[in-house]
Amino acid sequence: MPELPEVEVVRNQLKKQVLNKKIIKVESFHDNIVNGNINEFISILTGNKFIDVERYGKFLVFILDDWHVLISHLRMEGKYHIRNVNEERNKHEHIIFTFEDGTTLRYHDTRKFGKMDLRTKGNYLKVMPLIQLGPEPKDMKLGELYNKIKKQNKPVKVSLLDQTIIAGLGNIYVDETLFMSKIHPTRLSSSISLEEANNITLNARKVLDKALLLGGTTIRTFSATDVHGRFQNELLVHTKKGEPCPVCGNEIIKIVVGGRGTYVCESCQK
């Protein structure tokens, strides 16, 4: 699943390739990607332009030339491709925007889990889906995470994956953050001390900053508009089942926490 660094890479690539170009055609091949009336969606986008692309957590926000914004969540395997208009459509390309210059922006999603929503510029941060988002690690004050999770009787990993608590973290970066913080992912959130919660916040910032610098993590099916990241070469525990821990040398194991495959060193993480 694309997480904050990967979505930021997508945003930066899209800003270079789709802004200020008139959309002359919008095609939908799987209407469930779009929340709301598909005919209204097509009507509003046709003849419009993307004038900016923003990001909130894992959400992309395309700012349109009128009073609308298009909010896109890639979910598990969504991605955007830039293609020439005469290139044959891939069966997993479900929404296609054709521009007046002969290029197309194609939303590709093998699982069809991704979603798009149209909202108005005046209130899109005040309504679903963005109103539910917690702060990103870089915006979270020390002590804030502790106050959010101190009464939660659930594994700390589950709390960190909750986008209403902290936005942008997913499976990869939670595993890395908890390893750097020396905290076992199954520990109850209510057992995390103020000092430990602050360490989680600081380490989340560090891991995300490095991932952003390296263009995100390219594993399995994720790439950003055909751009591949390099952070997968820096992973400490995620995907490292059976390999020696980079700190103590003991074997990294894979367990399931909250239904998610989780990588942990049970010697270092308590």
Q: Which residues are annotated as a binding site for DNA?
A: 92, 111
Q: 52: which strand partners?
A: 63
Question: What does the block give as tokens for 142?
Answer: 């020390």
CB 202 within 8 A of CB 140: no
Question: What does the block give as tokens for 95?
Answer: 């929404």
For residue 262, the tally of other CB atoms under 10 A from its CB is 22
- b/e string for 104-126 if b means 16 or more Cβ within 10 A? bbbbbbeeeebbbbbbeeeebee
Q: Is 77 helix (H, G, I), strand (E, B) or coil?
A: coil
Active site residue 230: no
**Distance from C-alpha of 99 to C-alpha of 85, rounded to nearest angstrom:** 8
For residue 11, the tally of other CB atoms under 10 A from its CB is 19
Q: 80: which strand partners?
A: 107
Active site residue 126: no
CB 105 within 8 A of CB 116: no
CB 184 within 8 A of CB 199: no
Q: Which residues are annotated as a binding site?
A: 92, 111
**Distance from C-alpha of 40 to C-alpha of 68, rounded to nearest angstrom:** 12
Please provide residue 118's backbone torsions phi and psi, each rounded to the nearest 5 degrees: -95, 130
Q: What is the H or E stretch that residue 119 is in?
A: strand 115-120
The single residue of 150, 187, 205, 260 carrying the catalytic annotation is 260
The single residue of 2, 5, 155, 185 carrying the catalytic annotation is 2
Active site residue 58: yes
Active site residue 3: yes
The single residue of 11, 49, 58, 119 carrying the catalytic annotation is 58
Residues marked active site are found at 2-3, 58, 260
